[in-house]
């Protein structure tokens, strides 16, 4: 699954630089995660780095973007090859 940032986000700016896939950016009101780029840090780290640093714990799994670890690894490989995942 990709992750998502809820409206509980306080815009503290700690998650964006931690994302190895550049999946996090500022949205209209708070940060957002691009599910097409989010691999939950699979391929980079054992745990999602944004979740580890978030002080308000507002980064749950995205229920509309269910992916297996294998799918996340495939997305990671595509991103590393410079291919935009479908």
Q: What is the pLDDT of residue 86?
A: 62
Q: What is the pLDDT of residue 1?
A: 76
* Tens of each residue's pLDDT in the chain, 86 residues: 799 999 999 999 999 999 999 999 999 999 999 999 999 999 999 999 999 999 999 999 999 999 999 999 999 999 999 887 76
Q: Full-prediction pTM beyond 0.85?
A: yes
CB atoms within 10 A of CB 33: 25
- Helices marked H in 1-86: 49-53, 69-80
DSSP type of residue 74: H
Compute the mean pLDDT over every residue in the chain, rounded to the nearest whole number. 95
Report all structural domains of the chain as residue ranges with CATH numbers, in order of start: 16-80 (3.30.70.20)
DSSP type of residue 82: T
């Amino acid at each position: 699954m990709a992750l998502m940032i809820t409206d509980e986000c306080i815009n503290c700016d700690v998650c964006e630089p931690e994302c190895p896939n550049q999946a996090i950016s500022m949205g209209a009101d708070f940060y957002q995660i691009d599910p097409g780029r989010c691999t939950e840090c699979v391929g980079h780290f054992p745990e999602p780095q944004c979740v580890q640093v978030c002080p308000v714990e507002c980064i749950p799994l995205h229920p509309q973007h269910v992916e297996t670890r294998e799918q996340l690894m495939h997305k990671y490989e595509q991103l590393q090859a410079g291919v935009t995942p479908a």
